[in-house]
Amino acid sequence: MNYLKSIILSLVLLLSATTFAQETATAAVEQEDVAVAQAETMAVQEELQTLSDLVATEEEAGEESVWQEVKDFFMTMGIVRVFDKQEATGDWRQLVMLLISFFLLYLAIKKQYEPLLLLPIAFGMLLTNLPGSGMFHSELWSAFLDPNSPAYHSYGAILKEGGLLDVLYIGVKAGVYPCLIFIGVGAMTDFGPLIANPKSLMLGAAAQIGIFLTFLCANAMGFTEAQAGSIGIIGGADGPTSIFLTSRLAPELLGPIAIAAYSYMALVPVIQPPIMRALTTKKERAIKMKQLRAVGKTEKIVFPIMVTTVVALILPDAAPLIGCLMLGNLMKECGVVDRLSKTAQNELMNIVVIFLGLSVGATATGASFLNVKTLMILAMGIVAFGCGTAGGVLLVKFMNLFTKEKMNPLIGSAGVSAVPMAARVSQQVGQEENPSNFLLMHAMGPNVAGVIGSAVAAGLLLSFLG
């Protein structure tokens, strides 16, 4: 019996031990599972935290990027560049030039002072002085003129790195635009009054005295000979000729000289009458001149051919301007190329005027325009214009001392080549003294002679100073 109890007790103890071992093993497995689960949970939490930090970082970077883009855009604004001392393209003088361009636009539109050229010149000045526009680069043209620069006389560098106005300015620098304009001027000019009265040619030559007097004056005031010659040509009152010569001799002065030339051409009715009245008596202003003879077609055809040949043989540097002027006139007078003549007078002339005006205005930057030299150029320009007017009037008075048929001295003032405005001024002042006096056709002779004279004077200066 005791043996049986021992066996049963052993079985119970074995069963209890087995159950305990199983429970212990199960508990160990459960603890291990819990540990694994906790580890996985911590890993997921870490990943979520990392992802959250990454999203926050990207959001902060995105916000910084947006603000940086806004800041960069703000810094590219032209008005900011003007006042940024570290910005090389900004300059307070550009604001002054913008105001000047507005004033010139007002004169062109409201007062109608030479609007066909003054308007595009003023707008070109506006475009080139807008900070950051990058339409004209003075430094490229400085390198173009520098013999030590790799870009010396390299139009390829201009085309590669330049802006719109740089490309258009090539036509000025190469002397193309003024010559094309002269073709149009020739196609619109009637040389009949000059042919009918050859003495008018002398009056056109006399009016160029202002060019050479101003040249001497400017040279004495410290300008180089090339600069003085460019300033003197203002006295010819011929915008394309002034641009042609200045682009060859002193391109750094092109802006001020072009603006002075066209401004004084527009102010002919203001500048000339006081000089004309001061140098003539009432009796002289009332002189009536007989009607000019009729000029035949053959004479009008031969004239441009003869003038081109003679001038080019004597003064080759004047051939581009004179040749283009006479080509346009020959197309008009020969009567067999009406389409070409009308194109030169209208489409060609208008297109070139736009290009010329914009590119000339582009050179009027604040750095090159707002200085003492510009004021001196403007002052000497009006002196040149006045001397040219006086020279023509005084020559008529001198010629009257030796001729029976007296000429009205007022027509001498038309020797400056502001066609046809100067001739109209002669007519107007003459009719103030004698309402029945008609001087317009007589004044047109010296007027068109002045166009030839200013071109010859430019060629003369170019041959000596170029």
User: How far apart, in whole angstroms, are the C-alpha atoms of residue 134 and residue 132?
Assistant: 5
User: How far apart, in whole angstroms, are the C-alpha atoms of residue 330 and residue 344?
Assistant: 12
- How many other C-beta atoms are found inside a 10 Å radius of the C-beta of residue 354? 17
Tokens standing for 60?
A: 């902060």
- The pLDDT of residue 88 is 45
pLDDT of residue 21 exceeding 60? no
Q: What does pTM read for this prediction?
A: 0.80
Question: How much helix, strand and coil, in percent to the nearest 5, is found in the chain?
Answer: 80, 0, 20
Name residues whose C-beta falls within 8 Å of residue 234's C-beta, 6 or more positions apart in sequence.
Answer: 211, 214, 242, 257, 260, 261, 264, 377, 380, 381, 384, 385
For residue range 337-360, list pLDDT tens digits in order: 999 999 999 999 999 999 999 998
Tokens standing for 44?
A: 């997921």
- The pLDDT of residue 63 is 60
pLDDT of residue 71 exceeding 90? no
For residue range 421-452, list pLDDT tens digits in order: 899 999 999 999 888 889 999 999 999 999 99
* % of residues, the chain, pLDDT over 70: 82
User: How far apart, in whole angstroms, are the C-alpha atoms of residue 157 and residue 176?
Assistant: 19
For helices 209-220 and 440-465, give the axis angle rounded to 10 degrees.
40
**318: nearest Cα among 464, 153, 218, 169:** 464
pLDDT of residue 89 exceeding 50? no
Residue spans per domain, the chain: 1-75, 91-171, 176-465
User: How far apart, in whole angstroms, are the C-alpha atoms of residue 330 and residue 362?
Assistant: 34
pLDDT of residue 87 exceeding 50? no
**408: nearest Cα among 290, 284, 291, 292:** 284
Name residues whose C-beta falls within 8 Å of residue 315's C-beta, 6 or more positions apart in sequence.
Answer: 456, 459, 460, 463
For residue range 158-182, list pLDDT tens digits in order: 999 999 999 999 999 888 999 999 9
Q: Using DSSP, how many helices (H) and how many strands (E) does the chain show? A: 24, 0
User: How far apart, in whole angstroms, are the C-alpha atoms of residue 108 and residue 102?
Assistant: 10
**261: nearest Cα among 348, 129, 380:** 380
Tokens standing for 76?
A: 């590219």
Name residues whose C-beta falls within 8 Å of residue 237's C-beta, 6 or more positions apart in sequence.
Answer: 261, 264, 265, 268, 385, 388, 416, 417, 418, 422, 450, 454
For residue range 387-428, list pLDDT tens digits in order: 999 999 999 999 999 988 899 999 999 999 888 889 999 999
User: How far apart, in whole angstroms, are the C-alpha atoms of residue 228 and residue 255?
Assistant: 15
Q: How far is CA 265 from the centre of its chain?
A: 18
